[in-house]
Amino acid sequence: MPNPTRIEINCETGVESIIELTDAEVAELTYQAELAAEKKAEEEAQAEANAVAKAALLDRLGITADEAKLLLA
Amino acid sequence: MPDTFELIASSTVGSGGAASIDFTSIPSTYTDLVLKLSARATSTNIDLKMNFNSITTGYSRRNLNGNGSTVTSSSASDAWIGPIDGSGQAANIFGNTEIYIPNYAGSTNKSYSIDSIVEDNASLAYAIFIAGLWSNTAAITSISLSALSGSLTFAQYSTAYLYGVKNA
């Protein structure tokens, strides 16, 4: 299976080339994609934890989210 | 376009798609650069970055984001230039991005301004304004557009137009 390609436009000559990425470039992109997926999963987990904590706090205080916004305004 | 804008080079992505769009050997004879992008990704990964001279460091930005009901602001040390439409949005919709790079061939740090629009002909619409800085005094001789992280493929019919602006 061929590697993905990139487009390179030489502004001096006007020549446009379609260049296949090297195996090393593809490996780097794959690694970066894995890192990004891990980071996204962490952020989603943190957001979920924050939402749960917020709901618990509002419940403990006996107020709604809108009432909390009013207090903080 | 104003008379002072000259088209330097352009590209339209073909049926094979492209992992990046790279403008190289940019002449130093203009005052500023304007890059106009109309693009769509074939994936749900839709965030783009812009690198100068193949250098991936020294970038920072502050941005304003609006979605029609909420305005937010954030900043980061990266080369993000905004999102484009992708496979998560309605078909055949392309995001628009315009990048203005003043004094690109000078010997000071390079600032740039970006306005980016993404919508899906339904309920999603983002307007994003970015003030960016590349803390590098080298003249810009190449510009590369690619995924901010991981990989994405520019879809067929995505276009990029690079203009040079000559001050009077």
Give the pLDDT mean for B3-30.
Answer: 95
Query: Closest approach of chain B CAs to the CA of A33, in angstroms?
Result: 3
Under 8 Å between Cβ of B146 and B48: yes
- Between B9, B13, B150, which is nearest A29 by CB? B150
- Between A8, A14, A35, which is nearest B22 by CB? A8
Residues from chain A contacting residue B20 (CB–CB below 8 Å): 6-7
A40 touches chain B (CB under 8 A): no
pLDDT of B168 > 60? The answer is no
Average pLDDT, chain B: 94
Q: What are the backbone dihedrals phi and psi of residue B114, each rounded to the nearest 5 degrees, phi first?
A: -135, 135
H helices present in chain B, as ranges: none
Give the pLDDT mean for B146-161.
Answer: 94
Exposure of B63 in the CB half-sphere (CA atoms within 13 A): 23
Q: For the whole prediction, is pTM greater than 0.90?
A: no
A23 touches chain B (CB under 8 A): no
pLDDT of B84-100, one tens digit each?
999 988 899 999 999 99
Residues from chain A contacting residue B79 (CB–CB below 8 Å): none
pLDDT of A60 > 80? The answer is yes
If you write DSSP's letter for every residue of chain A in order, what string do you get? -PPPEEEEEETTT--EEEEEPPHHHHHHHHHHHHHHHHHHHHHHHHHHHHHHHHHHHHHHHT--HHHHHHHH-
CB contacts < 8 A (A, B): 71
| pLDDT in the model for residue B1 | 66
| pLDDT in the model for residue A34 | 83
Give the pLDDT mean for A40-66.
Answer: 91
Q: And the tokens for A21?
A: 């990425």
pLDDT of B77 > 70? The answer is yes
